[in-house]
Amino acid sequence: MGAVGTAALQDWISRFSDAIAEKREWLTELDSAIGDADHGANMARGMGAVVEKLGTGAPANIDDLLKTVGMTLVSSVGGASGPLYGTFFLRMGMSAGAVTSLDGSALGAALRAGLDGIVARGKPEAGDKTMFDAMSPAVDAFDAALAAESSVADAARAASDAAAAGRDATLPLVARKGRASYLGERSAGHLDPGAASTAILFETLADTIAA
């Protein structure tokens, strides 16, 4: 089964921040096609602030870690993605609780709680062309892999693959939430930037657990 500890989750956050910094221009390009060309900058600013904050001391437990990540994102990112990702991490932390390690099913429950937080906040539905379209299949794939007796590492890889497929499936969609929805039919033919950053989130989770 395997378990994921506080230090591994902190490593995930750091890998996510690095990958966002690396893909910043691409995320901004995606947002320039159907939004306001700031998704790369928003995510890089937010995750940069998170890494800086975490550099000042090791969190005592997983709730502490994820609460710090969530609160920092909410307070440092002005765009829609700040409160949405912020809520994801806050809810993940609340679900995990003040523990220093999560087994596969506790990690799955925390990811599900994070997804539910995004739904509560942004009201996205499947096919609205948002980060939900990458995250929801990722969380489902994680649960399905665990139910089929996969290791946590394999479940995280299945989630990453599902997130990437969900991101790609946003290409033909017409946006029904967020700024991209103002474009109507013209939003079709472009990947959703938030779905793209969510695929990075799950890819770095899989990489962390595999490491």
Could you tell me where the DSSP H helices lie in 37-151?
39-54, 62-76, 81-96, 104-122, 132-147
- The C-alpha atoms of residue 135 and residue 160 are separated, in whole angstroms, by 9
Q: Which amino acid is at 74?
A: V
Q: Does residue 124 bind ligand ADP (CB under 6 A)?
A: yes
Site residues for Mg ion, 4-33, by CB under 5 A, read: 31
- The C-alpha atoms of residue 33 and residue 177 are separated, in whole angstroms, by 15
- The C-alpha atoms of residue 182 and residue 139 are separated, in whole angstroms, by 28
Q: Which amino acid is at 118?
A: I
Q: Does residue 195 bind ligand ADP (CB under 6 A)?
A: yes
Among 20, 38, 141, 190, binds Mg ion (CB under 5 A): 38
Report in angstroms how near the CB of residue 77 gets to ligand ADP at its nearest: 7
Q: Does residue 192 bind Mg ion (CB under 5 A)?
A: no
Q: Does residue 35 bind Mg ion (CB under 5 A)?
A: yes
Nearer to ligand ADP, 17 or 42 (CB): 42
Range 126-140 burial, b when 16+ CB lie within 10 A, else e: eebbbbbbbbbbbbb
Q: Does residue 39 bind ligand ADP (CB under 6 A)?
A: yes
Stretch that binds ligand ADP, among 47-55, 138-146, 157-165, 193-201 (CB under 6 A): 193-201
* Binding site residues, ligand ADP, CB under 6 A: 31, 35-36, 38-39, 42, 79-81, 84, 118, 122-124, 130-132, 177-179, 192-195
